[in-house]
Amino acid sequence: MIPAHNQYFPILKVKRGEKTALESIAPSLHNRITPLLEFVECSVEQSPSAHLTNAFRDLVNCTKYYQRCFIDTRELSTLSRADNIAATVFTRAEQMGIAFVPVTSVSRSHDVEPAIRFKDRGIALRLSQAELENGNLNRDIIRFVDKHTLAPESIDLIMDLGAVDTMIVDGICAMSESFLSAVPYHSKWRTFVLSACSFPKKLSAVKRDSSGNFERSEWLSWRDNFYRNRHSLTRLPLFSDCAIQHPSGVEGFDFRIHPVSAAIRYAQEESWLIIRGVSTKTPSKSAKEQFPRLADRLYSGSLKDLYLGSDHCEGCASIKKASIGHKGFGSPEIWRRIGTIHHLTTVLQQLSSLPEA
């Protein structure tokens, strides 16, 4: 049996790069990952129907390897008839044979009833920082469970701090402890998860044509405060993050239209290495030309000591291929896939290496 702390709950946007990353994870890791899939906001140029058609494209292929996944329509809540849209998402996922658990929360309105309607595999309660700060979270959870005649044992509880990229580790620890104190029934929930995201919203702190590091403070907080002190807890909350994407909206940003600096996002033990190029709109500096050059800096150049080797994961194997001249590594979407594969693999290796005693 896999130790509970070796399970990982990454929050991923339902975008093509993330979907193909889930397909490319090593098969030996599949049973340790339960992805939370966020249907991203709908751009003003696209109809909700077309948006959902695009989101569901290849979703079966990327989820079939996993025992289950969570599906969250939170970002669709501003659309007209959002309750119908949430129900449509859950209905379509069920019709496609996706083994999913619907996500809702104690203060939402658009997706509560649809989630309850599709509770055959239970539901997930994704609690937000705003719900914590309201001051009545314990009462709200108990009322929600009682109102919908749910058993905590059928609920996956996710305490989501959201974006913490401007906070230090001690502040994240304090907020996390407040969350744990406000939540009842620690020992009863089907799964008990703590999530946060310290990946930066913007990479502008790294100068163009250079590299820099951003601390993985949500990981450091969980490892050094919660896992290290797990024997004093009623129950250890399991680790979750947002991989290499800030939680803010991503729909409507088209790499083909908007200027963006080519960048490689590469997880390390306690930080993310960001290798940044220049704007892809710069003459003679297209993404197709820049990404292989950035990969070469990591594979055989000035940053090669930070490269974990081509046998680390499919993402690292792709970095080598890009560096030595293989074709097909010239778009930001492909590098989102590569970075996500590497990140998920790195986290799972870190979880496995934690001391058991």
Report pLDDT digits (tens) over 166-197. 999 999 999 999 999 999 999 999 999 999 99
More confident residue, 61 or 44: 61
Of the listed ranges 7-11, 280-284, 316-320, the least confidently predicted one is: 280-284
Residues 296 and 221 both lie in one domain: no
Q: Kindly state whether residue 354 falls inside one of the protein's structural domains.
A: no
Residues 190 and 296 both lie in one domain: no
The mean pLDDT of 19-28, rounded to a whole number, is 97
The mean pLDDT of 334-354, rounded to a whole number, is 98
Q: What is the pLDDT of residue 253?
A: 53
Of the listed ranges 39-53, 290-304, 330-344, the least confidently predicted one is: 39-53
The mean pLDDT of 249-268, rounded to a whole number, is 73
Residues 144 and 197 both lie in one domain: yes
Q: Is the pLDDT of residue 163 over 60?
A: yes
Percent with pLDDT over 70 in the chain: 95
Q: Kindly state whether residue 323 falls inside one of the protein's structural domains.
A: yes
How many structural domains are present in the chain? Answer: 2
Q: Is the pLDDT of residue 45 over 90?
A: no
The mean pLDDT of 90-103, rounded to a whole number, is 98
Residues 195 and 328 both lie in one domain: no
Q: For the chain, what's the residue count? A: 357
Residues 247 and 294 both lie in one domain: no
Q: Is the pLDDT of residue 283 over 70?
A: no
The mean pLDDT of 84-89, rounded to a whole number, is 97
Q: What is the pLDDT of residue 286?
A: 84
Contact by Cβ (8 Å): 181, 204: no
Q: Kindly state whether residue 208 falls inside one of the protein's structural domains.
A: no
Q: Is the pLDDT of residue 43 over 90?
A: no
Residues 57 and 167 both lie in one domain: yes
Q: Kindly state whether residue 207 falls inside one of the protein's structural domains.
A: no
Dihedral sign, CA of 74, 79, 81, 87?
negative
Q: Residue 183: what residue type? A: V
DSSP H helices, 104-187, are 112-117, 129-133, 137-147, 169-182
Residues 57 and 134 both lie in one domain: yes
Q: What is the pLDDT of residue 242?
A: 98
Q: Kindly state whether residue 334 falls inside one of the protein's structural domains.
A: yes
More confident residue, 82 or 63: 63
Q: Kindly state whether residue 247 falls inside one of the protein's structural domains.
A: yes
Residues 247 and 286 both lie in one domain: no
Cα–chain-centroid distance for residue 21?
12
> Residue 198 sits in a domain of what CATH number?
3.20.20
Residues 169 and 32 both lie in one domain: yes
| CA gap 260, 155 in Å, rounded | 41
Q: What is the pLDDT of residue 249?
A: 66
Average pLDDT score over the chain? 94
Quick: pLDDT tens for 208-250: 999 999 999 999 999 999 999 999 999 999 999 999 999 986 6
Predicted structure pTM score: 0.95
Q: Is the pLDDT of residue 38 over 70?
A: yes
Residues 149 and 291 both lie in one domain: no
Residues 332 and 301 both lie in one domain: yes
Put the strands of the sheet holding 123-127 in their side by side order: 11-13, 36-38, 69-72, 100-104, 123-127, 155-163, 191-197, 238-240
Q: Residue 94's domain spans which residues?
A: 4-202+214-252
Q: Kindly state whether residue 274 falls inside one of the protein's structural domains.
A: yes
Residues 227 and 135 both lie in one domain: yes
Q: Is the pLDDT of residue 259 over 80?
A: no
Alpha carbons within 13 A on the beta-carbon side of 299? 20
Q: What is the pLDDT of residue 48?
A: 93
